[in-house]
Amino acid sequence: MPGLIDQILFTDTETWRADYWCKPVHFREFVTSKEHLHQAGLSPRQYDAIFQLIGDDPVKVFSMDRVKRVGVFLWGKGSGKDYVTSVLQAYLFYILLCMKDPHAYFDFPQEENIDIMNVAPTAQQARKIFFSKFTSRIKNWKWLLDNFKVSFRGAPLRRSCGSRMEVRITDAAVETANNIRCNSLHSEAGNFEGYNVLFFCMDEASEFEDKFETVRSGDEIINVGKAEIIYNTLLTSAVSRKLPWLGVIISFPRRVDDFTIRMYENSQKGDGGILLGVRGCTWEFNPRYNGEPTFRFEQWDVPISFKTHFETDPLNSRMKFCTVPPIILNRFFYNDERIQSAIDNSIEPLLTTVDEIQEITDASGKKVKFVIKRILASNISRVDRTRAWAIHVDLSISGDSTTVVIGHGEPCNIASTFVDDTGKTVNTTIKNIIVIDQILVWEPDLKHQAVVSHMNVDEVIESLVGMTGCRYISYDQYQSQYVLEKAVRNGMDSEKHNINTKDYVLYRNMLWAGAVRYPKHTKLLFETERIVWDGKKPDHLPIYSKDVVDSAIGITRAIAEGLAKAQENMIYTFMDDRIFTGIDPNDNKVNFPVFPPEVLGHTYVPLENPDEAPPQDISWFL
C-alpha cells in the first residue's frame, strides 16, 4: 500500500510505476541519504535555485510542459558551483537509471545515445575539476553499486554487486548499456554536433569569452564568442531532438558585456522566457559563512574572511565574489575619470560629411560598389595653420574599416611625471596638448557588397591637408606605398608606423596628465575602455577592434615627439575672396582655395588689380 511520501510526491501513485522500476527519491533525500550521495545538504539559496529549475516532483523533472529550461546562475567564486552542478547531474542521471526504458519514455530511437553534458573552459578543468568530482560521487554511490554492474576503466568496482545493466566509468564519460551518457567536454574541443542533449551545463561559461570564432551572420562577417557558439549548438541539439531538455549556465561574470551577463539580463526581461536567472554573492549561497562577522564594502555586508581580498584588490573582489565585473579585465587604460575628462564637446569637425555608396561600371559592364564620404561643408574658420598638424591613417584590408584621424598640438608647459614602457618613472615637461580634431571611419557595407574606396579616402585626406597645412602623415601596417610616395613628392614628412607598446604608454601618460583632448566619439571611447594588457603588449580582444584608438595614439606620438611640425609664418597674397567658395553645385564637392598650399597663410594683402592676376589651381595633390 502506498505510503504518505508516495502520496505527496506523486499525485497518481500508479502512474510512475508504469515508467519506473524504482521510485526516484526527492532531491533533498538524494543529496543527504546514505543510500545515495551522503553529502551535506545544500544551502537554502542553492536548493531554491535548483527547485526553480527542475521542480519539486522527481517524475516531472523531464516534462515537456516545463517553461523554464535554462538556469543562468551568476554565483560568486567559492559559492559551491562545481558541487551543486555535479550533484544535479548525478540526480538527473539517477532519474534516468530509475526508468524502465528511458528511450521509450522519451519516444526516442533505442540505438541513439541520450546525453547529459558538462562543458568546461579547458580540457584540464573538464577532466580534473568537474569530472573528477562527478565520478567520485558515482564510484561511492551505494544505491548504484547495489543495483548495477559498475566498472571503472574497464575493471569492475569491488563493491559493485548489482545485477542490473552495466555502468561504465571512463576518463571522459559515464556510459550505460542502454545508451545513456554523461560527457565531460571543454570549449577547446571544437565540435559539439552529434549529441542528443537532454541536459547541459556550461561550467564557468564566462571564461569561454576569451575564445572567439569568425562567422557569417546574414550579410555580415562577425567575431562571435565561443560561449555563444557552444550555447547555440547545445540548444539546437536539445530542441531538435524534441527531448524535455534542461540546461545550466553557471559562472561569475568577467566583463560587463560578457555572455553570462547578457543571458542574465535576458532572463530579467518580461517573464524571461525559457531563462531562469539567479544571481548573488558567494556568502549568499555557501552556508559556511553563515553567522560570520561582517564588514561594510559599498552596498554589501561582507564576511570578515574576505576582508583582505577586498582591501588589496577591490576591483577583482567585486567581480569574483559579488558578480559585479569591471568593463574588462586587465585594462590598459584603467582610469575612467581621465578617459571621460578628456572629452571636449567644443571640438567641432573640420569637415561635414555624409556616407554614400557609389556605383561604378567598368569596361566589361560589371558594376562595382564603393563606400565613400561626400563632403558637404568645411569649418575652415577654426583652423590655426601655425600649429603642428598630423594625420594618421589605418587603411582597411578585406572586410575591415578604414580610419583617418587628424589632430594638432596646442603649445603648453606642463611639468609631469611619466612611467615609461620599462616601468621607470621619468620627470618631463609636456610641450603640447594633443587635440584630436576629427575622426573619420569608413565601414564596408557587406549587405550591398560595397568596399571602402581608398581613392575617396585619399581625396578626404587631400581636403584636410589643404585646410590645415598639415605636413606629417603616418600609415599603419597596411599602408599604400603610392600614397606615401605622393606625400614625399609634395614635401610632406610621411612614414609607415605600426603602433607599439611605447606609443601606447606615451598616450596613457599624456591622457593621465590631462594633455589629450578629443570629441565625444563612441568608437574611440569604446575601444579605449577595452584595450587589455595581455602580458606582453596592449591589445584588443578578437571580438573588438582598435583602429580608432591606434590612430589617436599615432597623432599623439607624431606631435609629442616632434615629428609633426608647424608651417613657418609667412605673408601671402590672395586674389580677392576666393580662399573658399563653398560647394560646387555640379559635383557637390567643396571648393577649396584657388591657390597652391604655399600661398595659403594668415596675413592678407589685397592686390590693386585682382582681375589681372592669373587664376591658379589650388587643389592639394598629396
Number of domains in the chain: 3
Question: Based on the domain organization, do 466 and 400 belong to the same domain?
Answer: yes
At residue 573 the predicted structure's pLDDT band, cuts being 50, 70 and 90, is very low
Average pLDDT of the chain to the nearest whole number: 82
Are residues 620 and 592 in contact, defined by beta-carbon separation less than 8 angstroms?
Answer: yes
Q: Which three cell numbers stand for residue 165?
A: 545493466
Question: Based on the domain organization, do 234 and 379 belong to the same domain?
Answer: no
Does residue 593 fall inside a structural domain?
no
Angle value at C-alpha 207, between 203 and 211, nearest 5 degrees: 120
pLDDT score of 579 more than 60: no
Q: 571-572 and 538-540: which strand pairing?
A: unpaired
Highest mean pLDDT among 217-226, 422-431, 510-519: 510-519
Question: Based on the domain organization, do 170 and 299 belong to the same domain?
Answer: no
Q: Which residue has the higher pLDDT, 491 or 284?
A: 284
The stretches of 397-537 forming alpha helices (DSSP H) are 454-468, 481-489, 501-512, 522-529
Q: State which residues form the domain around 317.
A: 294-326
As a whole number, mean pLDDT of residues 576-590 equals: 45
Q: How many CB atoms lie within 10 A of CB 388?
A: 22
At residue 236 the predicted structure's pLDDT band, cuts being 50, 70 and 90, is confident
When computed from its CA atoms, the radius of gyration of the chain, rounded to whole angstroms, is 33
At residue 166 the predicted structure's pLDDT band, cuts being 50, 70 and 90, is very high
pLDDT score of 7 more than 60: no
Does residue 556 fall inside a structural domain?
yes
Question: Based on the domain organization, do 494 and 529 belong to the same domain?
Answer: yes
Does residue 500 fall inside a structural domain?
yes
At residue 336 the predicted structure's pLDDT band, cuts being 50, 70 and 90, is confident
Q: Which three cell numbers stand for residue 457?
A: 579616402
Highest mean pLDDT among 446-450, 572-576, 598-602: 446-450
At residue 566 the predicted structure's pLDDT band, cuts being 50, 70 and 90, is confident
Does residue 218 fall inside a structural domain?
yes
Does residue 503 fall inside a structural domain?
yes
Query: For 38, phi and psi rounded to 5 degrees?
Result: 55, 50
pLDDT of residue 212: 46
Question: Based on the domain organization, do 197 and 174 belong to the same domain?
Answer: yes
Question: Based on the domain organization, do 439 and 381 belong to the same domain?
Answer: yes
pLDDT of residue 481: 61
Does residue 287 fall inside a structural domain?
no
Question: Based on the domain organization, do 307 and 411 belong to the same domain?
Answer: no
pLDDT score of 210 more than 60: no
Give residue-wise pLDDT tens across range 524-555. 999 998 898 877 899 987 778 899 999 999 99
How many angstroms separate the CA atoms of 477 and 483, rounded? 13
Q: Which residue has the higher pLDDT, 362 or 231?
A: 231
Are residues 184 and 118 in contact, defined by beta-carbon separation less than 8 angstroms?
Answer: yes
Instruction: List beta partners, residue 148.
Output: 164
- Domain of residue 452, CATH code: 3.30.420.240
- Domain of residue 179, CATH code: 3.40.50
The CA distances from residue 109 to 24, 208, 234, 397, in Å, are 24, 33, 19, 50
The CA distances from residue 369 to 110, 360, 589, in Å, are 55, 6, 20
Question: Based on the domain organization, do 114 and 195 belong to the same domain?
Answer: yes
Give residue-wise pLDDT tens across range 22-72. 999 999 999 999 999 999 899 999 999 999 999 999 999 998 888 899 999
Question: Based on the domain organization, do 271 and 320 belong to the same domain?
Answer: no
pLDDT score of 597 more than 60: no
- Examine the fold and report which residue of 541, 560, 579 is the final residue of a domain before the chain moves on: 560
Does residue 585 fall inside a structural domain?
no
Q: How many CB atoms lie within 10 A of CB 562?
A: 12
How many angstroms separate the CA atoms of 183 and 126, rounded? 10
Question: Based on the domain organization, do 267 and 304 belong to the same domain?
Answer: no
pLDDT of residue 621: 29
pLDDT of residue 599: 44
Lowest mean pLDDT among 173-177, 358-362, 579-583, 616-620: 616-620
Does residue 575 fall inside a structural domain?
no
As a whole number, mean pLDDT of residues 142-148 equals: 95
pLDDT of residue 361: 87
Question: Based on the domain organization, do 265 and 366 belong to the same domain?
Answer: no
At residue 398 the predicted structure's pLDDT band, cuts being 50, 70 and 90, is low
Question: Based on the domain organization, do 240 and 302 belong to the same domain?
Answer: no
